[in-house]
Amino acid sequence: MRVGFLQLRVKFGEVKANVKKAVTFLGKVEDATIVLPELFNTGYLFKNQRELNSLAEPLTKSHTVSEMKKIAKKRNLHLIFGMAEKKARSVYNSAVFINPKGKVEVYQKVHLFDREKLFFTPGKALKVVSTPEAKVGIMVCFDWIMPEVARCLSLKGAGIIAHPANLVLPWGQEAMKLRCIENRVFGITANRIGTERRGTLNLTFTGGSQIMSPGGEVLVSAGDRSESLKVIEIDVAEAQDKHITPANDLFADRSPGLYSQITSKAKRK
Ligand code: ACM
């Protein structure tokens, strides 16, 4: 199975230009599943709700979705990309999945980071989508901090975790290697590069997009300086074998009966 990431520099608010650039990159590949960054079309540092509302799009009436559908069909691509999704009165920090036939599915980010909590509504469900070769679980950026997310996606059968990101903390890429090791799944993190400046706000995105094996090995990565499209071949069947040693099957060795605190909203003691 061919999988890849597109690491991008994004211009805040320039949806058409950001989408056009991504589509130009994607026109160079075919027959692959490709992950793009979180909020790749709008940028990240919204000043207020009004600004976010003006850039968010309903999935059924979206320039971004319609352009991504076209390139997915033309190049036989499965795409997973981040965008601000307007739905009823809410805006979600979503990751959209599109297949070459134009099917659209969506994951709405559950674990919002920092100022995202001011403007976005958190999602309420985890999501696994299907390509012909593999089930793909979707997380968005800061979801990495909750190991439960990657675990649940893996238990739902995902062999690959697709991870659109705008990583700013120093540990995301390292933690994602662990998420792969502890679930024996492949991981694809697609991050941004560059600094976004919005008045007194600014953030530098750390690049380092990477594809990881079920053993946590980095199979291919990008630096933090340039935009980069990387596609490699993986044997996704490797993610079906959950053995760490001949005697240790990661899933069979779990003792869920001991983990009830994880699924209850228990207060900290
Ligand atoms: C993040 O979740 N965008 C850090």
Mutate to test the pocket of ligand 1, among 167, 192, 201 (most ligand atoms within 8 A of CB): 167
Which listed residue (21, 109, 127, 135) is catalytic? 109
DSSP secondary structure, 77-115, as one string: EEEEEEEEEEETTEEEEEEEEE-TT--EEEEE-SS--TT
Please tell me the predicted confidence (pLDDT) of residue 171: 93
Whether 250 maps to a domain, the answer reads no
Which tokens is 113 given? 């980071």
Whether 88 maps to a domain, the answer reads yes
Whether 78 maps to a domain, the answer reads yes
CB 151 within 8 A of CB 262: no
Exposure string (b/e) for 109-129, b if CB count within 10 Å is 16 or more?
bbbbbeebeebbbebeebbbb
In 18-151 the beta strands, taken as DSSP E runs, fall at: 32-35, 77-87, 90-98, 104-108, 127-130, 135-138
Report the domain count for the chain: 1
The Å distance, Cα 189 to ligand 1 centre, comes to: 12
Please tell me the predicted confidence (pLDDT) of residue 59: 98
For residue 115, give the amino acid letter.
Answer: R
Which listed residue (141, 177, 196, 227) is catalytic? 141
Please tell me the predicted confidence (pLDDT) of residue 146: 97
152 is catalytic: no
Whether 225 maps to a domain, the answer reads yes
Please tell me the predicted confidence (pLDDT) of residue 265: 81
Whether 195 maps to a domain, the answer reads yes
In 173-237 the beta strands, taken as DSSP E runs, fall at: 186-190, 192-198, 201-206, 210-212, 218-221, 228-233
pLDDT in tens, the chain (269 residues): 999 999 999 999 999 999 999 999 999 999 999 999 999 999 999 999 999 999 999 999 999 999 999 999 999 999 999 999 999 999 999 999 999 999 999 999 999 999 999 999 999 999 999 999 999 999 999 999 999 999 999 999 999 999 999 999 989 999 999 999 999 999 999 999 999 999 999 999 999 999 999 999 999 999 999 999 999 999 999 999 999 999 999 999 999 999 999 988 866 66
6, containing H or E segment = strand 2-9
The Å distance, Cα 165 to ligand 1 centre, comes to: 6
The Å distance, Cα 145 to ligand 1 centre, comes to: 10
| Sequence-separated (6 or more) residues with CB below 8 Å from residue 247 | none
180 is catalytic: no
Please tell me the predicted confidence (pLDDT) of residue 36: 98
**Quick one: which atom of ligand 1 is closest to the CA of 172?**
4
**Quick one: which atom of ligand 1 is closest to the CA of 141?**
2
The Å distance, Cα 101 to ligand 1 centre, comes to: 30
Whether 163 maps to a domain, the answer reads yes
- Closest C-alpha to 10, from 43, 37, 44: 43
CATH number of the domain that residue 184 is part of: 3.60.110.10
Whether 71 maps to a domain, the answer reads yes
**Nearest residue (CA) to ligand 1, atom 3:** 166
- Domain hosting residue 223, numbered range: 2-243
Ligand 1: residues whose CB is within 6 Å? Answer: 38, 113, 141-142, 166-168
Long-range residue pairs from 124-132, CB within 8 A, at least 24 positions apart, any chain: 126/152, 126/153, 126/156, 127/95, 127/97, 128/153, 128/156, 128/157, 128/158, 129/80, 129/97, 129/105, 131/1, 131/33, 131/78, 131/99
Task: Kindly state the DSSP code that residue 260 receives in the 8-state scheme.
Answer: H
Whether 87 maps to a domain, the answer reads yes
Mutate to test the pocket of ligand 1, among 10, 36, 38, 144 (most ligand atoms within 8 A of CB): 38
**Nearest residue (CA) to ligand 1, atom 2:** 142
